[in-house]
């Protein structure tokens, strides 16, 4: 199963991000950069983190979205493997897509397919 890909909608404000659950500060707690972050549990100890700089509102899913294994304090690497057949990783991707699609419905993100994403870089 592939994970879906997303872009931040144009015109998003910090206030709108906070309305849907983003909180002040990032998960990395870098106080030099003003950020908002969004944290949602996926499955077991796997969590979704989204972090956005509030000065720029720049967004790149490869730099601003993290799927972490909190047990080990690191990225959950099977999530990033597009060709994995690990049943647990497939469940994580399915829940990730569901959570991100909810943010699409809130007007925060737009879902894009991989072909479109590669053309825009």
Q: What's the pTM? A: 0.83
Q: Is 58 exposed, middle or buried (0-12, 13-18, 19+ CB in 10 A)?
A: exposed
DSSP structure class, residue 112: E
pLDDT for 19-54, tens place per residue?
999 998 766 555 567 889 999 999 999 999 999 999
The sign of the CA dihedral 95, 121, 53, 66 is positive
Three-class SS of residue 69? strand
What DSSP element (H or E) covers 44?
none
* Residue 72 · residue 46 · CB < 8 Å: no
**Distance from C-alpha of 71 to C-alpha of 110, rounded to nearest angstrom:** 31
pLDDT for 68-119, tens place per residue?
998 998 999 999 888 888 999 999 999 999 999 999 999 999 999 754 444 4
4, 26, 86, 89 from 23: Cα distances, Å: 24, 8, 32, 27
């Amino acid at each position: 199963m592939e994970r879906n890909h997303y872009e931040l909608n144009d015109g998003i404000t910090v206030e709108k991000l906070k309305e849907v659950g983003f909180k002040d500060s990032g998960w990395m707690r870098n106080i030099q950069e003003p950020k908002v972050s969004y944290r949602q549990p996926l499955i077991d100890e796997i969590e979704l983190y989204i972090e956005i700089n509030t000065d720029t509102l720049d967004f790149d899913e490869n730099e601003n979205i993290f799927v972490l294994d909190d047990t080990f304090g690191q990225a959950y690497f099977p999530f990033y493997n597009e060709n994995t057949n690990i049943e647990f990783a497939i469940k994580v991707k399915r829940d990730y897509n569901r959570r991100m699609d909810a943010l699409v419905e809130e007007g925060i993100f737009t879902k894009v397919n991989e072909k479109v994403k590669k053309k825009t870089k």
